[in-house]
Amino acid sequence: MPSSDALQAFVQAATCGSFSAAARRLGKSQSTISTAIANLETDLGLLLFDRRSRKPSLTEQGRVLLRRAEEVLAANSLLARTAQELAQGLESKLSIVLSDTYQSERFEEVLDEFQQRYPDLQFECLIAEYDDLLAIVQQGRAQMGFVESQALYPAEIGAAAVAEASEMALFVCASHPLARLAHVSEEALQAHRQLRLGTVLNSAGATVRGRSWSAPSYLMLLEMAERGFGWAPIPRNLVNRFGSAALHELQVHGWPRRIVVDAVWSRFRPLGPAGGWFLEKMLG
């Protein structure tokens, strides 16, 4: 296997146009560069440079192998950088769980900056709501989450409000009878089926006035509302992105409602450098 030094000498000589220029760039003697390239040619069994003129030029085989040598050096650099980051405590993977209440341009902007800052780190995004989301964080399945703010969290959950809020409104499909009303009363709502969020952990024993169907995600509620199954409280940004043409917003006293979103994490599992950076960006 050719050494990194030999490959570096080869690439620099090809890029700079001469062995002497490569030697100056690498801070080595010209004889060291010449010897490294000659040994590389011996190892590969190929002539990389045509030395018949005053300035050596790449052979056809040299031009092909130059691209491969650059790829190997880039991979070696990536390996060294990743190993250094891991040795310094960088996590190998960052998992974040989101509520559909939080469809945020800010999150996407931070994610874009994140992939530039940590290009080799694995990233995973999960979707859950309320108690299900907190359970995922408590179990260590995700390092942090973003959820509608709650009055009380489990003792092991840390929480802080993010720098922006969401908004919840009531929606039905455009052909639903409620869509014909300029203002909808509570009595009118109770006369029609409610589509509500029912997560795995908090649906048992829940009581709702009137008829209701439940689903574990707001996106499923949106789809059910589009099909005319009933009315539903849905994050407005979710409707704007996925269902604005098919859904009608109801005018009901007290709606829409502003939703404060919290970042949550486990106090028992400290965030690594990448997770800490992500959280700081979201709270700033």
The more confident residue out of 103 and 261 is 261
Instruction: Tell me what pLDDT residue 204 has.
Output: 42
Phi-psi region of 259 (alpha: psi -120 to 50; beta: other; left: phi over 0): beta
- C-alpha count within 13 angstroms, C-beta hemisphere, residue 92: 2
Q: What is the mean pLDDT of residues 115-138?
A: 92
- Measured N-to-C along each axis, helices 19-26 and 4-16 cross at an angle, to the nearest 10 degrees, of 120
Confidence category of residue 270, pLDDT binned at 50, 70, 90 = confident
Peptide bond into 2 cis (omega under 30): no
Phi-psi region of 43 (alpha: psi -120 to 50; beta: other; left: phi over 0): alpha
Which among 62, 15, 73, 7 has a CA at the least distance from the CA of 36?
7
Instruction: Tell me what pLDDT residue 175 has.
Output: 94
Instruction: Provide CATH 1.10.10.10 ranges for the chain.
Output: 4-83
Q: Which CATH class is domain 165-259?
A: alpha beta
Q: Render pLDDT for 169-200 as a digit per residue (tens, 0 to 9).
A: 999 999 999 999 999 999 999 999 999 988 65
Q: What is the mean pLDDT of residues 119-137?
A: 92
Q: What is the mean pLDDT of residues 220-224?
A: 93
Instruction: Provide CATH 3.40.190.290 ranges for the chain.
Output: 165-259
Sign of CA dihedral 14, 17, 18, 23: negative
pTM strictly above 0.85: no
CB 169 within 8 A of CB 233: yes
Round to whole Å and give the CA distance between 28 and 22.
8
Average pLDDT, the chain: 88
Confidence category of residue 209, pLDDT binned at 50, 70, 90 = low
Instruction: Tell me what pLDDT residue 203 has.
Output: 47
Q: How far is CA 269 from the centre of its chain?
A: 20
Q: What is the mean pLDDT of residues 102-116?
A: 89
CB 61 within 8 A of CB 14: no
Round to whole Å and give the CA distance between 221 and 91.
35
For 4-83, CATH gives 1.10.10.10
Q: Render pLDDT for 59-83 as a digit per residue (tens, 0 to 9).
A: 999 889 988 888 887 777 667 666 6
Give me the percent of the chain exceeding a pLDDT of 70. 91
pLDDT higher than threshold 80 for residue 276: yes
Q: Which of 48-57, 189-198, 222-231 has the lowest mean pLDDT?
A: 48-57
Instruction: Provide CATH 3.40.190.10 ranges for the chain.
Output: 93-158+263-283
For residue 193, the SS3 value is coil
Instruction: Tell me what pLDDT residue 169 has.
Output: 95
Superfamily of domain 93-158+263-283 in the CATH hierarchy: Periplasmic binding protein-like II (3.40.190.10)
